[in-house]
Amino acid sequence: MQVIRIPALSDNYIFLLHEQKENIAAVVDPAVAQPVLQKLRSLDARLVAIFNTHHHHDHVGGNQQLLQSFDNVVVYGGAEDRGRIPGQQVFLQEGDRVTFGDRTGVVYFVPGHTRAHIAYYFAPNTAAEPGELFCGDTLFAGGCGRLFEGSPTQMLESLTKLQALPDDTRVWCAHEYTLSNLQFALTVDGDNADLRSRFSEVKTLRSRDVATVPSTLGLEKRTNPFLRWNQPNLQVAVNSQDPVQTFARLRGMKDRF
């Protein structure tokens, strides 16, 4: 399964999954349809599925036009997003499976950014391959999503689920927020050598307009403050040793950053 990153809007990423043997495709969080249709035409591939992580318009805005352009496209989303995702036909819960080509994805219920947010994890077929995590706006490179409909407790539990996946998992998050996320991270975890090195690399990449997505889960564990809430220096930075309070204070500081 090839994953093709398609930039859209000002800072969104749409992900096109391409199964070359059958020449079929699925799309994750199509913010808009046109660049997806253009890529499908260049591949001469048939769209068979839309995997939505949550209902926000910059993740589902292209659904209807894609449905009008192809027959028999199945639209997936979270069970609690019923009525909020255009064209949704399958209502997924924690632990459900989805299939695309020869790959099977596991659904994680990860509320926090929204009350119904889900993520899709496609485990590798061989030991030489990484897994693929499509996490929408829950986990970002260097950060996490704002809490619009969920609580700090929910978001912390959601991130903890994702944190348990293998370190080589590729993290396909839906926005190019990495540079600003790392700028904030340095204010609370500035002694972290891995973080300082990553910030320098990302600054160079973004100066050249190079994408920083995907990340890897191992890198996030070393440098993302929202996966490091149990580190003493971060607890000192927010004056709390309580996990939920530490996370909530970090998120509040990032909201004001």
Active site residues: 54, 56, 58-59, 113, 137, 175
- Strand 24-28 and strand 12-19: the pairing is antiparallel
Could you tell me which residues are beta bridge partners of residue 13? 7
Is residue 58 marked as binding? Answer: yes
End-to-end Cα distance, the chain:
38
Is residue 44 marked as binding? Answer: no
Is residue 18 marked as binding? Answer: no
In angstroms, rounded to a whole number, what is the distance separating the alpha carbons of residues 21 and 45?
11
> How many Å is the Cα radius of gyration of the chain?
18
Query: What crossing angle do the helices spanning 243-255 and 178-188 adopt, rounded to 10°?
Result: 120
In angstroms, rounded to a whole number, what is the distance separating the alpha carbons of residues 255 and 244?
16
Is residue 29 marked as binding? Answer: no
In angstroms, rounded to a whole number, what is the distance separating the alpha carbons of residues 67 and 53?
17
Q: Per the structure block, which two tokens stand in for 4?
A: 């093709």
Is residue 57 marked as binding? Answer: no
In angstroms, rounded to a whole number, what is the distance separating the alpha carbons of residues 27 and 16?
4
Is residue 54 marked as binding? Answer: yes
Residue 70, class by beta-carbon neighbours within 10 Å (0-12 exposed, 13-18 middle, 19+ buried)?
middle
Identify whether the C-beta of residue 112 lies closer than 8 Å to the C-beta of residue 86: no
Q: Per the structure block, which two tokens stand in for 93?
A: 């819960």
Identify whether the C-beta of residue 121 lies closer than 8 Å to the C-beta of residue 105: yes
Binding site as annotated, residues? 54, 56, 58-59, 113, 137, 175
Binding site as annotated, residues for Zn(2+)? 54, 56, 58-59, 113, 137, 175
